């Protein structure tokens, strides 16, 4: 880690820059990788964080080149985490079909009833509030319930605006010190209804969904990486970078294509002609080798032929590609992931402290609003994204800290590409680019941040 009091590229220093030491860990990471057209930021960020931990705890202490995760081939494969995630989602789908498949119509009916009852419950909350003799409480709580109901149907900017108004009303309601029994009972009914709808929606989605390729959980991926039964793979055996592997361009489309060809082969009727069998197998093998280039055609064909109903063919291809699975040696050092909830402007001090201590930090934030011009995305859509903060420095001209962010969209060219997109609207991007990394002012990044993740060594403060 480079730790300086004045950033090397700064034109001048100032008193505040001396109080806020600069940190730059870019050289402690391997090359930037690109997730391409698929929502796998959760696995790229987690594999980057754990790769850096291995660099510090294993390579710097042993100087064993095998642990030098600054080299592309030694980086933890992000594809391994996503293959495991894909397999887990498929297993959840199969279990949901077994448990709830026969009851699907009944569950749909219960869900529709719960959604219908929700409006009635909100009406009851408003009636109970308006019956209060305290008119300030009555009007505030009735309006509060109306905004809560409306917010459930919105996303993006409108959702944020309603949330701010709801927070303002909450303070007014709290200051009145008023709450009658009828309002409390109606609120309890609303809470029960919320839980019922959430659970039924989850079950129905699992029944219908065979495994959404986008999105995931960084904590889950971390648990798999460090699990003594799962372990992880290196980039050299299970590539996850479309900058290095051109065939990965359009990766989501390629995976969907592979799923289609696998299904086409596995669902062949028993009386299919030998020619049809060979053609279907050939298509599936070609699609498989596109995403798993380290496997031979014979290996892909062998895995597909040995398929069982409770297995995920894509995960099996990943396992075969990962010939040297690695595991954390807990006797030497064991990692743990900590999560900082509500990583907004009020607690960015903890993030600065972690960076100064030499720990890169994963930041979950609204990627669209932080990186793109407003004209280039749907303002009513949520765009949760996860990147790694690998450095910080004080900008004297701006009068605030700015953070160096490592991202997995677009590889080394990603930052410059997105920054250029502001020009077509005659706008100035709210960040700079340096060697493929974003340099984002604290006021901008903290505005859209939601959670922070850090991997540290167990037993160390």
pLDDT digits (tens, 9 = 90+) for 151-202: 988 877 788 788 889 889 988 888 887 778 888 898 999 999 999 999 998 8
pLDDT at 390 over 90: yes
pLDDT at 213 over 70: no
311: three-class secondary structure by DSSP: coil
Compute the distance between CA of residue 351 and CA of residue 23 in angstroms, rounded to an integer. 12
CB count in 10 Å sphere of residue 240: 28
Residues in Cβ contact with 210 at an 8 Å cutoff, skipping those fewer than 6 apart: 89, 90, 93
CA angle (26 as vertex; 376, 213 as ends), nearest 5:
45
Name the packing angle between helices 251-266 and 274-291 (round to 10°).
150
- Of 262, 288, 321, the one marking the end of a domain is 321
pTM of the model: 0.79
Task: Determine the pLDDT at residue 309.
Answer: 61
CA 201 to chain centre: 21
| Nearest alpha-carbon partner for 358 in 70, 72, 22 | 22
Q: What is the H or E stretch that residue 432 is in?
A: strand 432-434
Question: Has residue 214 been placed in a domain?
Answer: no
Residues 331 and 453 placed together within one structural domain of the fold: yes
Residues 198 and 291 placed together within one structural domain of the fold: no
Residues 350 and 284 placed together within one structural domain of the fold: no
Residues 331 and 303 placed together within one structural domain of the fold: no
Residues 243 and 331 placed together within one structural domain of the fold: no
For 287-318, how does the pLDDT look when each residue is reduced to its tens digit (9 = 90+)?
A: 888 888 889 999 999 988 876 666 778 888 88
Q: Strands 437-441, 400-406: parallel, antiparallel or unpaired by DSSP? A: antiparallel
Residues 337 and 445 placed together within one structural domain of the fold: yes
For 427-449, how does the pLDDT look when each residue is reduced to its tens digit (9 = 90+)?
A: 999 999 998 999 999 999 999 99
For 326-358, how does the pLDDT look when each residue is reduced to its tens digit (9 = 90+)?
A: 888 888 789 999 998 878 777 789 999 999 999
DSSP strand E in 322-411: where?
335-341, 361-366, 384-395, 400-406
Question: Has residue 87 been placed in a domain?
Answer: no
Residues 262 and 174 placed together within one structural domain of the fold: no
220: three-class secondary structure by DSSP: helix
Compute the distance between CA of residue 308 and CA of residue 236 in angstroms, rounded to an integer. 28
Compute the distance between CA of residue 139 and CA of residue 379 in angstroms, rounded to an integer. 31
Question: Has residue 443 been placed in a domain?
Answer: yes
Question: Has residue 216 been placed in a domain?
Answer: no
For 215-262, how does the pLDDT look when each residue is reduced to its tens digit (9 = 90+)?
A: 678 998 999 899 888 889 999 998 887 645 544 445 677 777 887 888
CA 61 to chain centre: 31
How far, in Å, are 110, 210, 328, 447 from residue 255 at the CA level?
35, 13, 29, 35
Determine the longest span between alpha carbons in the chain, in angstroms.
Answer: 82
Give mean pLDDT, residues 397-422.
Answer: 91
For 2-17, how does the pLDDT look when each residue is reduced to its tens digit (9 = 90+)?
A: 544 333 444 467 888 8
Look at the alpha carbons of 78, 374, 429, 431 in this order and tell me if their dihedral is positive or negative: negative
Contact predicate 459/342, CB 8 Å: no
Compute the distance between CA of residue 82 and CA of residue 221 in angstroms, rounded to an integer. 8
Residues 364 and 451 placed together within one structural domain of the fold: yes
Residues in Cβ contact with 423 at an 8 Å cutoff, skipping those fewer than 6 apart: none
Looking up residue 414, the CATH number of its domain turns out to be 3.90.70
Contact predicate 38/213, CB 8 Å: yes
Residues 395 and 453 placed together within one structural domain of the fold: yes
Helical spans, DSSP H, in 296-420: 297-305, 313-321, 348-356, 367-371, 414-420
Compute the distance between CA of residue 218 and CA of residue 43 in angstroms, rounded to an integer. 6
The residue range of the domain holding 162 is 100-208
Hunting for tokens 């008119």 — which residue is that?
A: 135
Overall domain count for the chain: 3
Q: What's the Rg (C-alpha) of the chain?
A: 26
How far, in Å, are 50, 181, 327, 358, 456 from residue 331 at the CA level?
17, 57, 12, 22, 15
Residues 316 and 334 placed together within one structural domain of the fold: no
Residues 408 and 336 placed together within one structural domain of the fold: yes
């Amino acid at each position: 880690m480079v730790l300086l009091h004045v950033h090397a590229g700064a034109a001048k220093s100032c008193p505040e820059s001396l109080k806020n030491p600069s940190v730059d860990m870019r050289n402690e990471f391997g090359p930037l990788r690109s997730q391409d057209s698929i929502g796998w930021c959760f696995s790229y960020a987690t594999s980057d964080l754990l790769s850096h931990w291995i660099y510090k705890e294993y390579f710097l202490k042993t100087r064993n080149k095998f642990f030098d995760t600054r080299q592309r081939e030694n980086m933890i494969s992000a594809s391994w985490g996503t293959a495991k995630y894909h397999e887990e989602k498929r297993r959840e789908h199969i279990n949901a079909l077994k448990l709830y498949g026969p009851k699907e119509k009944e569950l749909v009916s219960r869900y529709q009833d719960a959604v219908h009852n929700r409006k009635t419950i909100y009406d009851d909350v408003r009636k109970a509030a308006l019956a209060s003799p305290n008119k300030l409480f009555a009007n505030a709580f009735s309006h509060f319930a109306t905004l809560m109901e409306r917010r459930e149907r919105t996303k993006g900017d409108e959702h944020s605006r309603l949330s701010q108004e709801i927070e303002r009303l909450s303070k007014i309601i709290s200051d009145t010190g008023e709450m009658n029994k009828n309002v409390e009972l109606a609120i309890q009914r609303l809470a029960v209804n919320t839980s019922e709808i959430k659970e039924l929606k989850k079950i129905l989605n699992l029944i219908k969904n065979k495994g959404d390729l986008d999105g995931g959980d960084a904590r889950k991926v971390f648990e798999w990486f460090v699990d003594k039964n799962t372990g992880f793979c290196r980039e050299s055996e299970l590539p996850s970078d479309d900058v290095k592997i051109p065939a990965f361009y359009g990766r989501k489309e390629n995976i969907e294509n592979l799923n289609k060809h696998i299904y086409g082969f596995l669902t062949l009727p028993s009386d299919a002609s030998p020619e049809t069998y060979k053609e279907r197998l050939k298509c599936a093998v070609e699609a498989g080798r596109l995403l798993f280039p380290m496997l031979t055609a014979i290996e892909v064909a062998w895995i597909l032929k040995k398929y069982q109903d409770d297995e995920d063919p894509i995960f099996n291809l990943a396992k075969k590609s990962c010939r040297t699975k690695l595991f954390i040696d807990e006797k030497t050092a064991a990692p743990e992931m900590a999560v900082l909830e509500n990583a907004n402007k009020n607690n960015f001090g903890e993030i600065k402290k972690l960076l100064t201590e030499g720990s890169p930090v994963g930041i979950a934030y609204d990627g669209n609003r932080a990186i793109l011009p407003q004209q280039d995305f749907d303002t009513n859509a949520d765009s949760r994204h996860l990147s790694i903060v690998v450095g910080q420095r004080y900008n004297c001209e701006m009068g605030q800290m700015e953070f160096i962010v490592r991202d997995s969209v677009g590889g080394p060219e990603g930052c410059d590409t997105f920054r250029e997109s502001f020009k077509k609207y005659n706008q100035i991007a709210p960040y700079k680019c340096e060697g493929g990394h974003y340099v984002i002012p604290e006021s901008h990044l903290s505005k859209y941040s939601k959670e922070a993740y850090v991997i540290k060594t167990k037993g160390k403060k």
